[in-house]
Chain A
Amino acid sequence: MSYDLIFTLGKKVLNGEPLTFEEALQLTQIDEADIPILLGVANKIRVTFTGDQVDTCEIVNARSGGCSEDCKFCAQSAHHDVKFDSYPLLSEDQILQAAKSAESHGAYRFCIVTAGCGMKHDPDFEKITQSIERIGRETGLERCCSLGILTPAHVKALKAAGITRYHHNLETSKSFFDQICTTHTYDERIETIKNVKAEGLEVCSGGIIGLGETWEQRLELAFALKELNVDSVPINVLNPVKGTALEGRPPLNPMEVLQTFAIFRFILPTKILRYAGGREKALGELVPLGFLSGINGMLIGNYLTTAGRGADTDLNTARSLGLKPIADQA
């Protein structure tokens, strides 16, 4: 019986033992008819280690487009010809407005996201820290931001402004990264995460699947995140935006997407695995199954340049499955 392995490895994880890379790789090779069993065991692991709470966050695209970097999936890269709204940094009032609206939607965290490689020589940095402080004064939200590459000095300033968590994706595995981005290195991303951790801030870091990476590379990403001991792992699924280098990429099969969530849960039993962009398009009506496959966090509302399915819909889905959105209890 081929799926014996799922239970054997599930038991191992439930006993608190880490999964090896080889073991995780075996979970990628199961029969399609056994995928729901894998999902069921991942659900059990999620319940055992993280309970029934669901972490919710909402993001604002605070500065959009014109990015110097060439990430092949990204609608905001200056290297791509994509039709969307490009704009400079929003005003403090606009950012506050977005935060208040996120709070009213049921978000627990709020993340300010800016396009660009990072904050080195970025004239907007000070304005961003001021916005973070103001959100702290005028809302009850946990504050987070995603500003690209940071130096230790930036991290200190953000922490002083009231940030509790920083978001910076690894995007994919080290071995695949240069096929996705050539304008900065994987090591720079890792260094930013280490800088953030050195200041005692929490880290939200994940990636995007469906770029053409192999299963091995997807697992490499999960193990790299485990190694970095990040707190929250957003998993985006490529939404091939017209005009990007990956516009013609075939979509992943929905069952493979769910299988990926479940294997990430096996590898990262205690962390927040977060539903992020592209899930609606990739999973269709199987979106709610993510919550029974290891997911325990989600971005609600809209993404940076694409629309989500609405905060209420997502929150009600979670509630209908007996899960508890964190803001409901706050």
Chain B
Amino acid sequence: MDSKEIIRLGELVLDGHIISEQEAISLTAVCEDDIPLLGAYANKIRAKFAGKKVDMCGVINARSGLCTEDCKFCSQSVYHQTNAQPFPLISNQEALDALTPLAKAGAERASLVTSGKGMETDPDFERIVTLIKQTATQSAINICANLGTISYSQAVLLVQAGIKRYAHNLETSENFYPEICTTHPYQERFNTLLAAKKAGLELCSGGIIGLGESWHDRISLAITLRSLDVDSIPINILNPIPGTLLEKQTPLSPLEILKTFAIFRFILPGKVIRPAGGREINLRDMQGAVMLAGANGLIVGNYLTFGGRDIAKDFTMVNDAGLVPTLNN
């Protein structure tokens, strides 16, 4: 593809045009030397529709491992033998302790994440609601929840507990999903997002790239997220954990990752697009570059079962790129 096509589509999006799936797919044919230009247009689109703010968010693993589901990338599935240590629901104090370094570093949000398929028949749900209620009032950070599939009535309870945003990834395209998970259908994930939205929650939903999906799958994920009007899109990049089925998956190149972020920005001009788990090992020292290729959010601190990097480094990086990290109260 000619660089003229990047410019043409970039100008259209800047003028408010909603890019079609076909147009987005045409961008995937960009030659490697033009990826910086594609990233530059994504940056321009980010600046125009989302401004300079970068949404800084941490995650707290509030209950780990022993998950009944078979998502192939996940170190917490009972189908995989990994070194990830399972533990039951953490206490109120443990949650506050985990939030402290995030709050201190200035992160605006943190998500309480529990392993498991979802909350419909989960005996911990009531305790989780209490945990959220207490942490939401006692911490300076905005608390989000990431508890798997939920019903509408549970979403309402979460709203009452004080959260504003629910995090639940679609993970990949509907078409590729059966290759990644066979124990629950895509539709359940989709329904959870609809239920949360109906209850008035903002949505944080994205996925994971580098699973072996095609460009069509990646674009299809982005288009689906656009149809759901999600607010924030975390993009994880596979960290192939030994013991998982994808442990031998070939990593994506940093330029392909930059290209993915840029194309997501073309599709989702005004949303928060958030580099998440796996960014350190896959982007290596191109983290700063992604902030100028369409990204405007970050998961900071540690991830669920593996470490991240020093949060202060991410704040400096965002400032160096001329962007403004969001802060907590």
Contact = CB atoms under 8 A, between A and B. Distances in A.
Contacts of A43: 33, 36-37
Contacts of A124: none
Contacts of B285: 285, 287-288, 313, 317, 320
A161 interface: no
Interface stretch (B135-143, B178-186, B202-210, B317-325): B317-325
B320 A286 contact: yes
Given A34-B44, A39-B40, A40-B36, A284 B292 contact: no
A292 B284 CA distance: 15
Given A286-B288, A288-B289, A44 B33 contact: yes
Nearest to B4: A7
B34 A40 contact: yes
Interface string B1-26: 00100010001000000000000000
Interface in A295-330: 313, 316-317, 320-322
B253 A320 contact: yes
Interface string A223-257: 00000000000000000000000000000011100
Interface string A22-38: 00000000001110111
A89 interface: no
Interface in A246-282: 253-255
A58 to B, nearest CB: 20
Contacts of A3: 44
B7 to A, nearest CB: 7
A320 B284 contact: yes
Interface of B: 3, 7, 11, 32-34, 36-41, 43-44, 47-48, 253-255, 284-289, 292-293, 313, 316-317, 320-322
B313 A36 contact: no
18 contacts: A33-B47, A34-B44, A36-B40, A37-B43, A39-B40, A40-B39, A40-B40, A41-B37, A44-B37, A254-B321, A284-B317, A286-B317, A286-B321, A288-B285, A288-B286, A288-B289, A292-B289, A322-B253
A275 B175 CA distance: 45
B301 to A, nearest CB: 17
A47 interface: yes
A120 B208 CA distance: 64
B254 A255 contact: no
Contact of A37 (B40, B254, B288): B40
A39 B293 CA distance: 12
B288 A288 contact: yes
Contacts of A7: 7
A37 B34 CA distance: 11
Given A284-B288, A285-B287, A289-B288, A40 B37 contact: yes
- Interface majority SS (helix, strand, loop, mixed), chain B: helix
> In this complex, which of B32, B44, B286 has the most chain A Cβ atoms within 10 angstroms of its Cβ?
B286
A283 B40 contact: no
Nearest 6 A/B pairs, CB to CB? A40-B37, A36-B40, A285-B288, A33-B47, A40-B36, A37-B40
Contacts of A285: 285, 287-288, 313, 316-317, 320
A255 B284 contact: no
A15 to B, nearest CB: 14
B152 to A, nearest CB: 41
Contacts of A321: 254-255, 286
B7 A36 contact: no
Contacts of B292: 36, 289
A3 B14 CA distance: 13
A293 to B, nearest CB: 8
A36 B39 CA distance: 8
Nearest to B287: A285
Nearest to A255: B322
B37 to A, nearest CB: 3
A7 B286 CA distance: 25
Given A289-B289, A321-B254, A321-B255, A284 B37 contact: no
A93 B47 CA distance: 56
